[in-house]
Amino acid sequence: MSLLEVKNLQVAYGGIQAVKGIDFHIDQGELVTLIGANGAGKTTTLKTLIGMVKPSGGSITYDGKLNGTIPSYDYVRHGLVMVPEGRGIFSKLTVEENLQMGAYYRNDKAAIQSEIERVYELFPRLKERYKQLAGTLSGGEQQMVAMGRAMLSKPKLLLLDEPSMGLAPIIVEKIFEIIQMIAKEGVTMLLVEQNAKLALEVSQRGYVMESGRITMGGPARELLDDERVRNAYLGE
């Protein structure tokens, strides 16, 4: 059964049609990637899924509920969580306060603290800096905070928008190791990522988005081997 099903989704900004009737689905437990050039409509799609942008047509069904039946401010309580491009951390709060913000709606204090410790196991750098203001961290450390905060929200579906953007290769490698670990723990994920090769290598399935339309889709391995994908997105 699909945790997320998108049918004929359309999004317009003024007179510009940014998303032009796309269809895709994500099954429970899958890690799916959405690749495409800048301006293809990937981030707009994620923002529409999370309720930040209103669609002009089509439907989104998440966890059996049609879009519009859940207020956007309540998505997190229903397990729909996004790590935005640019991380979106609270720069004037400490690392630990940022993590606690991920659990703002929860009351299970013992479980929250246990999960914070789990984040520190995944990201030892954050443990070393837990009292440091998040705005003073490096870009890679801020991305770790953003991902850790999302995990404190106990996501059913985690949306990741360009998690490797602007990061050094060694940090990108670590971030993707964590993405794979989160997936193995059963969290369903939709990944939008500029590094198409790396994204497809860790995913079960993928979609290619071009000029607001999904033009290809299938098993990630098949997309990696497709000559059109290799030429357009893998630099081969």
Residue 21: band (very low, low, confident or very high) from pLDDT cuts 50, 70, 90: very high
Q: Where are the domains of the chain?
A: 1-74+197-236
- Write down the residue that tokens 């369903």 correspond to: 188
Beta-strand ranges (E) seen in 14-107 are: 16-27, 31-35, 57-62, 65-66, 80-83
Instruction: Name the amino acid, one letter, at 21.
Output: G
Report the mean per-residue pLDDT for the chain. Answer: 93
Residue 95: band (very low, low, confident or very high) from pLDDT cuts 50, 70, 90: very high
How many CA atoms within 13 Å lie on the side-chain side of 90?
Answer: 14
Largest Cα separation within the chain, whole Å, is 51
pLDDT at position 202 is 96
Q: Coil, strand or helix: which one is 174?
A: helix
Within a 10 A sphere around the Cβ of 165, how many other Cβ atoms? 15
Model pLDDT for residues 152-182, shown as the tens digit of each residue: 999 999 999 999 998 999 999 999 999 999 9
pLDDT at position 236 is 60
% of the chain exceeding 70 in pLDDT? 100
CATH superfamily of 1-74+197-236: P-loop containing nucleotide triphosphate hydrolases (3.40.50.300)
